[in-house]
Amino acid sequence: MTNQPNPDEPIRRDTFDRDGAARGTARMEAFADAVFAIAFTLPVIAIEVPEGGADLLAELLRLWPSYLGYLIASVVIGLYWALHHFSGAIYRTTGHYLNLATVLFLTMIGFIAFPARVFAEQVADPVHRADAAQYLAVSLALTAASWLIKWTVGRRTGHVDTRLDPAYLHRLDRKYWLSTGVLILAAALSFLSWQAGLAIAAAVTLYYFRPPETPRYQSEAPAVEGEGR
Amino acid sequence: MTNQPNPDEPIRRDTFDRDGAARGTARMEAFADAVFAIAFTLPVIAIEVPEGGADLLAELLRLWPSYLGYLIASVVIGLYWALHHFSGAIYRTTGHYLNLATVLFLTMIGFIAFPARVFAEQVADPVHRADAAQYLAVSLALTAASWLIKWTVGRRTGHVDTRLDPAYLHRLDRKYWLSTGVLILAAALSFLSWQAGLAIAAAVTLYYFRPPETPRYQSEAPAVEGEGR
Amino acid sequence: MTNQPNPDEPIRRDTFDRDGAARGTARMEAFADAVFAIAFTLPVIAIEVPEGGADLLAELLRLWPSYLGYLIASVVIGLYWALHHFSGAIYRTTGHYLNLATVLFLTMIGFIAFPARVFAEQVADPVHRADAAQYLAVSLALTAASWLIKWTVGRRTGHVDTRLDPAYLHRLDRKYWLSTGVLILAAALSFLSWQAGLAIAAAVTLYYFRPPETPRYQSEAPAVEGEGR
Amino acid sequence: MTNQPNPDEPIRRDTFDRDGAARGTARMEAFADAVFAIAFTLPVIAIEVPEGGADLLAELLRLWPSYLGYLIASVVIGLYWALHHFSGAIYRTTGHYLNLATVLFLTMIGFIAFPARVFAEQVADPVHRADAAQYLAVSLALTAASWLIKWTVGRRTGHVDTRLDPAYLHRLDRKYWLSTGVLILAAALSFLSWQAGLAIAAAVTLYYFRPPETPRYQSEAPAVEGEGR
């Protein structure tokens, strides 16, 4: 399945034999965007309007664990969306196996708001917060692993833009392996010290607020599609 | 309604008389992707955060039927999405009847997470699991039938790319008829032996993990759209 | 606001003065498709998994009002989606007022599954079904009225393709006015006889299963975008 | 990060150094549209079908606070969608920081239906309506602030179309700063008089029913993309 297309020729529907029909990434991105958007927005409906005791504002403030859960999910899903937006510039096409790996990754994206909510609702409870933190740390590690699988499948099946500088692609490989490795260690560590494990998982996640390295090409970089017009 | 367009001429808005306005498939795919994405992601909100007894982690693990229901729905919906992504490369245009058949198919996609959840929640219960398996097997058969209807309507109304090799299209016809037929038999069999019926239905479903045959064209294959750029 | 663009010249961002920035319809359609898809798929999560008495299959069958509500919503929303897909071939551009009118229409689309569910849940109850039918008939009339407003705003603000045959556009005008008028009469009639009112409303709705008239152009019809590639 | 692209040259993937991969705005808009659509449509599932006492229609009318909450959310989200549709004509590209600022803005869009629902459910209750109004006014101010942040990040990172007239862009700057400032003042005022605060917040919101100023370019305006075809 290493039928690398020639970068100087147009890619055709039948370029990747044994990988279904080669297509541009537009539809894979549209499906992913919709899953991201739903996973991002759904947690709000789990917030229940308070009955309204003497002081409604105080009760609305007491909902802070719900707001926190929504914020954690927004940060995690938002950062993965930005990463997926970026990686959409790295792929030229998609095929059957990359589609299936994308589905696997999106299964984790659709799920991640749940452990975020569990953690936010238990963080103030000394009895349960260690369990909730471990559950969140494990979920973050599984999500990173599903990203790494997707990335690796895309690399192996030849859908990454062959005009990119190989050294640049190797730096991306290393970055994703390293992030996943550290998140798996953080998940394991959380069973010894949930504070330490979660702190490391949070640090890796927040690291992705930094912009990814601008792509390096072997020749002139491709022009941006559409240009917002 | 067999007004086959000439493959060498551009298809125009009025090419398919009595079939509404001919359009490219982009918007049909966008609508389908959104339905796929919602059906895929929604089941997670049905998972309830446990109250938190003595051991929260144990309670989170006891939610395994919810995770299983989400996974079954993800696999079924994800495989149909990959199939729909592939078939988007087979159609050139869409019209009114193919749109309506797509809506019928999407009605089943939007529903399928429900029998998956019913099955997962009852699989450990010896009293109810046969019923739940039959319900799931019948739902899988109906979903396959709605796919076959959609495919057949697209074929009959002339929206499939006429540049494709007819032998290739006949192989697709056969594959979809066969899958649907076996799933209907599996649904019937599940009332005699739910294990046998469900095993066959699962086998047909998992068969679609294999990549579909790469399209064969009578002439040079069309270039891939966009190329992720 | 009747600054009709010249059909032989490209439409520019500033073509429609006092109507925001003129843009192609792609993004309006993407937003509409997402609302259609959510309204279409959401009703399923309102279906509750039965607790499981002696006979689970019988209980799953007793959920028929939920299935019926989902089906009614699917038919209504699916037919409006097909109509919107068609009308997307009629507009060339969109502007601020057409966007706002689209939002109004989508507000009704997002709502219509609720009266469908109310009706389905009460249809077997002799005490309440008249009320539920009236509620559904009024909602269908309001949805049709919001469609007519959207269509009229698009016509008046110059976003309809000026290459279309004016007689063809007048036939569409007449069709939408007539449908809306009959649905309003049906809603009024439902307060005298809910059976008669609802039957007429259903007849108008089901009429839209028929394909809309293929567009007629003054010159050669525009080529189909994308062609599914 | 002020690497302004030359308006006469194509923008390339590596044009904006230290800002990830430059891409057209299509995917950012698709993600935003999906979040808008979900936030817009979700509130309907929070409406519960009445049990059905003696008079079902009367009970359906007693649900007016739910309808009002849905309407308020539709107006606010619909107007922001129209504004975002418009501003999509102002940006040419997007990068990492503008993506993150968009995620921040969408976090508020995904949330805003909740305070709308709280307000609608309490507006008839003399004890709680002041609190609910303050909560809504503060949420509207935060949403406007997140919009302003997104706009400012887009301006500073060079993604706004450089062919636009600078005076026109300054008028947009002023408009967004002014709206946000007044909404923050309205939120503060709502703690003195909830009626006055909410009236001003409503006036600012409803002001956006007016079309935004049609873009002014230094040279000929760009042609509209797609033209609905």
Residue type, A166: P
For chain C, give the number of residues: 229
CB C76 within 8 A of CB C115: no
- The phi and psi torsions of A85 (rounded to 5 degrees) equal -60, -45
What does the alpha-carbon distance between residue D67 and residue D76 come to, in Å, rounded to a whole number? 14
C-alpha separations of C152 from C3, C4, C98, C147, D208 in Å: 16, 15, 9, 9, 21
Query: What ipTM score was computed for the predicted complex, to two decimals?
Result: 0.94
* Per-residue pLDDT at D3: 57
pTM metric for this prediction: 0.96
* Per-residue pLDDT at D91: 94
- The phi and psi torsions of B11 (rounded to 5 degrees) equal -85, 135
D33 chain-C contacts, CB cut-off 8 A: 27, 30-31, 34
- Mean pLDDT computed over every residue of chain B: 93
- Judged by DSSP in three states, B132 sits in helix
Residue type, C80: Y
What does the alpha-carbon distance between residue D203 and residue D224 come to, in Å, rounded to a whole number? 32
Mutate to test the interface with D, among A29, A85, A210 (most CBs of D within 10 A): A85
Residue B49 binned pLDDT confidence (cut-offs 50, 70, 90): confident
- pLDDT of D94 over the 80 cut: yes
CB B118 within 8 A of CB B66: no
What does the alpha-carbon distance between residue D37 and residue D74 come to, in Å, rounded to a whole number? 10
| Cβ neighbours, 10 Å, residue C136 | 29
Are B44 and A45 in contact (CB < 8 Å)?
Answer: no
Upper half-sphere CA count for residue B169 (Cβ side, 13 Å): 19
C-alpha separations of A149 from A102, A177, D137 in Å: 9, 10, 45
C132 chain-D contacts, CB cut-off 8 A: 56
C37 chain-A contacts, CB cut-off 8 A: 34
- Mean pLDDT computed over every residue of chain D: 93
CA distance, residue B25 to nearest chain C CA (Å): 5
Q: Both ends of chain A: CA-CA distance in Å?
A: 37
- Judged by DSSP in three states, B48 sits in coil
Determine the Cα angle at B72 with ends B68 and B77, to 5°: 145
* Per-residue pLDDT at C48: 86
The residues near A132 (Cβ < 8 Å, ≥ 6 apart) are A115, A118, A119, A121, A122, A123, B56
What does the alpha-carbon distance between residue B147 and residue B156 come to, in Å, rounded to a whole number? 14
- pLDDT of C97 over the 50 cut: yes
- Residues D189-221 have pLDDT tens digits of 999 999 999 999 999 999 999 999 999 999 999
Residue C1 binned pLDDT confidence (cut-offs 50, 70, 90): very low
Q: Which two tokens stand for residue C84?
A: 């919107």
CA distance, residue B170 to nearest chain D CA (Å): 32
Residue A192 binned pLDDT confidence (cut-offs 50, 70, 90): very high
CB C103 within 8 A of CB C167: no
List the chains bordering chain B where 3 or more Cβ pairs fall under 8 Å. Answer: A, C, D
B103: nearest Cα among D154, A206, C74: C74
C-alpha separations of B109 from B25, B32, B121 in Å: 19, 9, 20
Burial of B124 (0-12, 13-18, 19+ CB in 10 A): exposed
- pLDDT of A1 over the 50 cut: no
Task: Convert chain A into a string of H (helix), E (strand) and C (coil).
Answer: CCCCCCCCCCCECCCCCCCCCCECCHHHHHHHHHHHHHHHHHHHHHCCCCCCCCCHHHHHHCCHHHHHHHHHHHHHHHHHHHHHHHHCCCECCECHHHHHHHHHHHHHHHHCHHHHHHHHHHCCCCCCHHHHHHHHHHHHHHHHHHHHHHHHHHHHCCCECCCECHHHHHHHHHHHHHHHHHHHHHHHHCCCCHHHHHHHHHHHHHHCCCCCCCCCECCCCCECCHHHC
Mean pLDDT within A124-146: 96
List the chains bordering chain A where 3 or more Cβ pairs fall under 8 Å. Answer: B, C, D
- pLDDT of D226 over the 70 cut: no
Mean pLDDT within A215-227: 85
In sequence order, the β-bridge partners of residue B164 are B217
C-alpha separations of D2 from D5, D159, D222 in Å: 9, 10, 23
Tokens 């607790």 map to which residue? Answer: C51
B34 chain-D contacts, CB cut-off 8 A: 34, 37
C140: nearest Cα among C207, C85, C94: C207
Virtual torsion, Cα B59, B64, B65, B67, nearest 10 deg:
120
What does the alpha-carbon distance between residue A184 and residue A201 come to, in Å, rounded to a whole number? 9
The residues near B192 (Cβ < 8 Å, ≥ 6 apart) are none
Farthest-apart Cα atoms in chain C, separation: 71
Mean pLDDT within D111-135: 95
Give the helix ranges, DSSP H, for B15-95: 26-41, 56-61, 64-87
Residue B226 binned pLDDT confidence (cut-offs 50, 70, 90): low
What does the alpha-carbon distance between residue D82 and residue A69 come to, in Å, rounded to a whole number? 29
- Residues B73-126 have pLDDT tens digits of 999 999 999 999 999 899 999 999 999 999 999 999 999 999 999 999 999 999
The residues near C64 (Cβ < 8 Å, ≥ 6 apart) are none
- The phi and psi torsions of C24 (rounded to 5 degrees) equal -65, 170
What is the C-alpha R_g of chain A? Answer: 20
Tokens 């399923």 map to which residue? Answer: C44
Mutate to test the interface with D, among C38, C190, C225 (most CBs of D within 10 A): C38
CA distance, residue B192 to nearest chain A CA (Å): 33
In this complex, which of B33, B56, B223 lies closest to A128 when CB atoms are compared? B56
* Per-residue pLDDT at A226: 63
- Running DSSP on this structure, what letter comes out for residue B104? H
Q: Which two tokens stand for residue D113?
A: 């239906």
C34 chain-A contacts, CB cut-off 8 A: 34, 37
Q: Which two tokens stand for residue C59?
A: 């209980």
In this complex, which of D26, D45, D128 lies closest to A226 when CB atoms are compared? D26
In this complex, which of A30, A56, A212 lies closest to D30 when CB atoms are compared? A30
- Residues B145-172 have pLDDT tens digits of 999 999 999 999 999 999 999 999 999 9
CB B141 within 8 A of CB B198: no
Give the helix ranges, DSSP H, for chain C: 26-41, 56-61, 64-87, 96-111, 113-122, 129-156, 166-189, 194-207
* Per-residue pLDDT at B5: 67
The residues near A108 (Cβ < 8 Å, ≥ 6 apart) are A139, A142, A143, A146
CB D33 within 8 A of CB C30: yes
* Per-residue pLDDT at A228: 40
CB C64 within 8 A of CB C118: no
| Cβ neighbours, 10 Å, residue D203 | 11
- Residues D155-193 have pLDDT tens digits of 999 999 999 999 999 999 999 999 999 999 999 999 999
* Per-residue pLDDT at B171: 97
> From A37, which residue of chain C is nearest by alpha-carbon distance?
C34
In this complex, which of B11, B91, B223 lies closest to C223 when CB atoms are compared? B11
Q: C165 — alpha (psi -120 to 50), left (phi > 0) or beta?
A: beta
Q: Which helix (H) or strand (E) holds B177?
A: helix B166-189
* Per-residue pLDDT at A92: 92
CB D70 within 8 A of CB C39: no
Q: Which two tokens stand for residue C70?
A: 């989902």
Residue C127 binned pLDDT confidence (cut-offs 50, 70, 90): very high
- Residues D5-53 have pLDDT tens digits of 676 778 899 999 889 999 999 999 999 999 999 999 998 988 888 876 7
What does the alpha-carbon distance between residue D103 and residue D106 come to, in Å, rounded to a whole number? 5
Q: Both ends of chain D: CA-CA distance in Å?
A: 37
- Running DSSP on this structure, what letter comes out for residue B179? H
What does the alpha-carbon distance between residue A223 and residue A227 come to, in Å, rounded to a whole number? 9
Residue C226 binned pLDDT confidence (cut-offs 50, 70, 90): low
B114: nearest Cα among B148, B80, B72, B64: B72
Q: Which two tokens stand for residue D126?
A: 């003399």
What is the C-alpha R_g of chain B? Answer: 20
A46 chain-C contacts, CB cut-off 8 A: none
* Per-residue pLDDT at A54: 79
Mean pLDDT within B52-64: 89
